[in-house]
Amino acid sequence: MTATSENLKPLLWEPKNLVRAIEAAGVALWSWNVDTDALAMDDRAYDLWGIPQGDVTFEHLSAHIHPADRDRVRAAFTATRALIGAYEIDFRIMVGDELRWISARGQGDDEGMVQRIMFGIFIDVTGRKQAEEGRELLAGEMSHRVKNLLAIASGLTAISSRSTSTTSDMARELTQRLTALGRAHDLVRPVPGQTEAAAALLGDLLTVLLAPYDDLGAFSGRIRVSVPRMSVGESAATILALIVHELATNSLKYGALSVATGTLDVSCSAQDEAVTIVWTESGGPQVKAPAAAPGYGSKLVYRSVMGQLRGEIAYDWAKDGLVVTLKVNPERLAQ
């Protein structure tokens, strides 16, 4: 040991310097008389618990513990004397309307007990607990979203398998549907630090989803999008992506987008009771209502509109082009 460290050692153990170290670490001190239940605490401990300084017992202190943790903490403190080695108990306390997390730490097995008095510390671990809860919430939310995506992918796989006759057709349709979902997800995914629910503008969403079907690109060719400024939530964006993909795919096969002269207009009006989106095709081949039963894609659209969006959809098979009117519940659109 060097001379310098020898000179510093006395300073380390000076009471005032020990107090400085404790204060720097945010540690609050307590002692507990196991016979009388009396507690003695330093100033930081009183501030941490939000109670006035004075005589206090463990039973009195327990009244400030969160009701859901109270019995557990009482039982744990009683049991600490039988523990071998150090112990640590985390619990919540109520300071007015504020919730705080405290970690109580000490030595069990009566080690260090002096005249029937045990010693330990309190540490405010609210920040750490909030971070842990945030991670758990994020993990739960991610699990929920992954399960939803897997359920959607499973349903799309089943629909694609029934609506196609070859594996290559199935792979192509499934890939296109999943790509549409991906484009919608990119628009509504949260950004770092975002506290509000993820959302996109309806016009941006429709433009991005329809851009692949426009020979000349978005805003410049046969597809025109004209909608008022309104937000679309994450769940609604996923459903709209599936609906737009099905309508655009059918138009590309049989409707206005199947010929160079065809055009598509998507407009929207919003009222208190419903948001109405109108899909208008023109300039394409003459169309007529299908004689056969609706295909799986059409069933998917219908179920999505009626179920998730709490709306309705109507088809007008006019000779000069298909007109689809989609009415959506405004509250559902924002979710």
- The pLDDT of 116-139, averaged and rounded, is 80
pLDDT for res 153? 66
* Confidence band, pLDDT 50/70/90 cuts, at residue 185: low
pLDDT for res 138? 62
Q: Which position has the higher pLDDT, 326 or 17? A: 326
Last residue of a domain, one of 124, 148, 169: 124
- Find all residues with CB under 8 Å of 252, minimum gap 6, and list them: 213, 258
Residue 119, domain CATH:
3.30.450.20
> What distances in angstroms separate CA 46 from CA 30, 33, 42, 55, 136, one per listed residue?
10, 17, 7, 11, 31
Mean pLDDT of the chain: 77
Most confident of the following: 60-69, 212-221, 246-255? 60-69
Q: Do 73 and 155 lie in a common domain?
A: no
* Confidence band, pLDDT 50/70/90 cuts, at residue 192: very low
Q: Do 80 and 180 lie in a common domain?
A: no
**pLDDT of 195 over the 60 cut:** no
* Confidence band, pLDDT 50/70/90 cuts, at residue 266: very high
pLDDT for res 197? 47
- The pLDDT of 69-75, averaged and rounded, is 85
Rounded to whole angstroms, the Cα distance separating 111 from 81 reads 8
pLDDT for res 79? 74
pLDDT for res 270? 80
SS (H, E, C) the chain: CCHHHHHHHHHHCCHHHHHHHHHHHCEEEEEEECCCCEEEECHHHHHHHCCCCCCEEHHHHHCCECHHHHHHHHHHHHHHHHCCCEEEEEEEEEECCEEEEEEEEEECCCCCCECCEEEEEEEECHHHHHHHHHHHHHHHHHHHHHHHHHHHHHHHHHHHHHHCCCHHHHHHHHHHHHHHHHHHHHHHCCCCCCCCCCEEEHHHHHHHHHHHHCCCCCCCCCEEEECCCCEEEHHHHHHHHHHHHHHHHHHHHHCHHHCCCCEEEEEEEECCCCEEEEEEEECCCCCCCCCCCCCHHHHHHHHHHHHHCCCEEEEEEECCEEEEEEEECHHHHCC
Q: Do 251 and 272 lie in a common domain?
A: yes
**pLDDT of 52 over the 60 cut:** yes
Q: For the chain, how many residues are written?
A: 335
* Least confident piece of the model among 240-254, 270-284, 290-304: 290-304
* Least confident piece of the model among 60-69, 113-122, 210-219, 252-261: 210-219
Q: Do 288 and 204 lie in a common domain?
A: yes
- How many independent structural domains does the chain possess? 2
**pLDDT of 271 over the 70 cut:** yes
Residue 191, domain CATH:
3.30.565.10
Q: Do 248 and 213 lie in a common domain?
A: yes
Query: For residues 334 and 199, is the Cβ–Cβ distance under 8 A?
Result: yes
Rounded to whole angstroms, the Cα distance separating 276 from 282 reads 19
**pLDDT of 278 over the 90 cut:** yes
- The pLDDT of 69-74, averaged and rounded, is 86
Last residue of a domain, one of 124, 158, 182: 124
Q: Do 238 and 319 lie in a common domain?
A: yes
Q: Do 11 and 134 lie in a common domain?
A: no
Q: What is the pLDDT of residues 231-245, one digit of tens each?
A: 888 778 878 887 887
What is the domain range of residue 64? 3-124
pTM of the model: 0.48
Q: Do 183 and 308 lie in a common domain?
A: yes
Q: Do 106 and 216 lie in a common domain?
A: no
Q: Do 94 and 149 lie in a common domain?
A: no
* Least confident piece of the model among 65-79, 274-288, 294-308: 294-308
Last residue of a domain, one of 103, 124, 145: 124
